[in-house]
A and B are shown apart, each in its own frame.
Chain A
Amino acid sequence: MRYIDHHAHMVSRTTDDYHQMALTGCVAVTEPAFWPGWDRLSAEGFEDYFRHITDFEPKRAAKYGIGHYCWLCLNPKEGEDRELARQVLGRIPHYLECPTVLGIGEIGVNRVTRNEVETFNDHVALALEHRQLILIHTPHLEDKWKGTRVIIEALGQRPEMEPGRVLIDHAEEHTIEMILENGFWTGLTLYPQTKVSLSRAADMIEIYGPERICVASACDWGASLPLAVPEFVLEMRRRGHSEALIDKVVYQNPVEFLGQSPNFRLQN
């Protein structure tokens, strides 16, 4: 079955993973800018990373017939450093010209500090100024509800912001309602232990319906599953859901959201 993984940190994955994803029907991935597991020392480090995900990674994916797109930002794990954020934000507009950049992301908060929220707000302002889509990271574990609430309240302060151009990712059972009720898109990330399991993701599709919900692997340098989306397809089939419903969640929904960027073009 064809699918799009809207959240995959492919810089951390091997070429074998691209191969397996292609074999299981992946037609495109989108790669949010991310924390490498350690803090970068300078804005130059981010610039190299932006070159990696706007130039090298699309070429690597193309060898397997997979479209590779990306999102740019200084991620929430490094958002506490306001001076570094200022320097990195100044370098982003240049890369927005790249043909595979879809928007600003994954921005958000980590431990929900004042500095993190200020850095988040600066990114939102940049996205609105350049009319970019926005992909938002919500915090992990005990910080998720609080961070999601704070993010939604911050976005609510901007009347020019269109919720339909924002995807608030890593939703779980206690945050999905507030995201959808406010008109945003959301993502269920199928990540072992700290995010959403296959069965809980299927539960949420059953409870809330398939509108404005996407699923993704969020595969990265940690223990994660680059084939999580086709595994989700199997979980939905296991319950007897229709192929049309599954296709909507794993393909049509991401096409609808991502297609709002003129840079998102799927090859036939």
Chain B
Amino acid sequence: MERHSGTCPLTRRQIVDEYFIESRNRLLEIAAFLDRLERAAPESAERDFRVQAFEAALRLLCDDEPARVQRVQMLLSDPSTQLKAKLDQKSATGAHDHWCGEEL
């Protein structure tokens, strides 16, 4: 499917002017979340697949490849199309366990 580029009327400088402060704030929130995890009792987030996915997503953000949002979304997604035999729980958790408890 065709993706358009250059369709945001703002220049790069204007985007930075508009969005830097709020993005900076979100960056600090992520840093604080990781610090909070580190301060917590060791067993609370250890080997939690959600944290593994989160850390993998952070590494992905630092590469120079495009479509970061799609790639983060897929990293957090169940990539299969296999139907569950029955309902396991009502709500989603936010991340798929790609690692099945193994370290990345």
Contacts and interface: CB of A to CB of B under 8 A. Distances in A.
B28 interface: no
Given A77-B90, A80-B86, A142-B92, A177 B1 contact: yes
Nearest to B3: A207
A169 to B, nearest CB: 16
Interface string A132-157: 00000001111111100110010000
Interface SS majority for chain B = loop
B3 A115 contact: no
A115 B87 contact: yes
Interface residues of B, number: 35
A208 B88 contact: no
Interface in B1-18: 1, 3-5, 7-10, 18
Contact of B95 (A113, A142, A177, A181): A142
Given A181-B1, A239-B9, A174 B70 contact: yes
Given A114-B86, A140-B91, A239-B9, A145 B73 contact: yes
18 contacts: A77-B90, A110-B87, A111-B84, A111-B92, A112-B78, A114-B85, A139-B92, A141-B95, A143-B92, A144-B73, A144-B77, A145-B77, A174-B69, A181-B1, A199-B19, A203-B69, A206-B8, A238-B18
6 nearest A-B pairs in the assembled complex, by CB-CB distance = A240-B9, A174-B73, A141-B92, A145-B77, A142-B96, A206-B7
